[in-house]
Amino acid sequence: MPVSDPAAAPGAPAEGAASHAPAFRPGLEGVPATQSAICDIDGRQGHLTYRGYDAAILAAQSTFLETAYLLIWGELPTALQLRDFEHEVQMHRRVSFRIRDMMKSFPAQGHPMDALQASAASLGLFYSRRALDNPEYIYGAVVRLLAKIPTMVAAFQLIRKGQDPIQPRDDLPYAANFLYMLTEREPDPLAARIFDACLIIHAEHSLNASTFSARVTASTLTDPYAVVASAVGTLAGPLHGGANEDVLAMLEAIGSEDQVAPWLDRAIAERQKIMGFGHREYKVKDPRAVILQRLAEQLFDRFGHDPLYDLARKVEEVAASRLGPKGIYPNVDFYSGLVYRKLGIPRDLFTPIFAIARTAGWLAHWKEQLGANRIFRPSQIYTGAVPREWTPLEAR
């Protein structure tokens, strides 16, 4: 291997080394950036497993907190472990009045994801001390984050309406308590169960953008509140968690079933992305969309139909002939908004709810990253100017 020329342009490959330069993959598509034992996706069969368990089975049989425990510690908890874990989470649901007061100074028209990111980061002010090699510290941070994130989402919802946040109810399970804090009414048990299943299927999805962001942040050995805050910021974008809000807006813009085909044809001709469709990993319908569709139907059977659902099914049917040949099918965001809408949840809370669920996955990756940490520091292919002379201001 020749010695590189120090006078060459920064980033220029040494003579004779070009053929060894790694290929650039925009978006790191197909590039393994970590090893992980948490979640596996079979994008051709449309199959998703958490720690080896089928996510569909977990959605039907487990609870969100049990699934979070499984994701983070790798095994299903015993009855005693689960009872303790649920109890600890329940005991830590309240947030400091200082955080509530801080949230009261947020602009009411601000997006709840921004409020959540700021609030999650603020937890580091209260519980910072990093003891990343202490299992009790890890357990405590997991409990706190799982417990307080829903409280903060619900608190901002009430605060922006001009009300004081209400305290969590210790007698209610995780999902029911969140819906209670949001609506100030104890939810119907079926609605709470369906909401819990939604949290389960959003809890983890391997190295998506926000989880990658969480792992990069974790790799610096910062505190877990910064890890979750950075992931919340990443989830907020419309290409990631934010798409679920846009799906309902799209359905409303389409308006009626006879408009579906012309609307889609125009959008595709203009190279617009159809929200709630497509996935880097899945080339078939996202298994989570299949589950969410079933959950939506259960809700409609019980609480009344939503005509937007018929429109959504028509969009799926028409899009199959236009986008299906490219492996573009409904993703998790396509039907989730319809479920949340039926539960009476405001549209801009859909992504914060995604964040509540995904906190479990982020924490699992935080813990896994700490177990075999090496700071992320990828390389780049420099495409800028070659070294050049400084031009004084008056000569420019």
Which of residues 124 and 241 has its CB atom nearest to ligand CMC in the complex?
Answer: 241
Nearer Cβ to ligand CMC, position 241 or 361? 241
Q: Which residues of 226-242 are buried (b: 16+ CB within 10 A; e: fewer)?
A: bbbbbbbbbbbeeebbb
Q: Does the annotation count 279 as an active-site position?
A: yes
E strand or H helix that includes residue 104 = helix 97-104
- Comparison of 90 and 208: residue with beta carbon closer to ligand CMC: 208
Q: At 319, phi and psi to the nearest 5?
A: -65, -30
Q: How far is the CB of 322 from ligand CMC (least distance, A)?
A: 8
Catalytic residue among 202, 240, 333, 365: 333
Contacts 24+ apart (CB under 8 A), 376-381: 376/33, 376/215, 376/216, 376/219, 379/22, 380/11, 381/11, 381/21, 381/24
Sheet with strand 53-54: strands edge to edge: 39-42, 47-50, 53-54
Task: Tell me the β-bridge partners of 49.
Answer: 40, 54
Least distance between ligand CMC and beta carbon 291 (Å): 14
CB-closest chain residue to ligand CMC: 278
- The answer to whether 273 touches 34, Cβ cutoff 8 Å, is no
Biggest CA-to-CA distance, the chain? 76
For residue 335, the minimal CB distance to ligand CMC (Å) is 12
Do 132 and 369 meet the contact criterion of CB atoms below 8 Å apart?
Answer: no
333 is catalytic: yes
Of the listed 202, 205, 240, 279, which one is catalytic? 279
CB of 196 or CB of 333, closer to ligand CMC: 333
> What one-character DSSP code corresponds to residue 275?
T
- Taking a C-beta distance cutoff of 8 angstroms, is the pair 199, 355 a contact? no
Of the pair 173, 241, the CB lying nearest ligand CMC is at 241
Gap between the Cα atoms of 132 and 226, Å rounded: 13
Q: How far is the CB of 202 from ligand CMC (least distance, A)?
A: 9
CB nearer to ligand CMC: give 202 or 342: 202
Return residues touching ligand CMC (CB under 6 A): 27, 208, 239-241, 243, 273-280, 323, 326, 328, 331-333
Please tell me whether residue 337 adopts helix, strand or coil conformation: helix
Taking the complex as a whole, how short is the minimal distance between the CB of residue 241 and ligand CMC, in angstroms?
5
Residue 14 C-beta: closest distance to ligand CMC, Å: 32
> Which sequence positions are flagged as catalytic?
279, 333
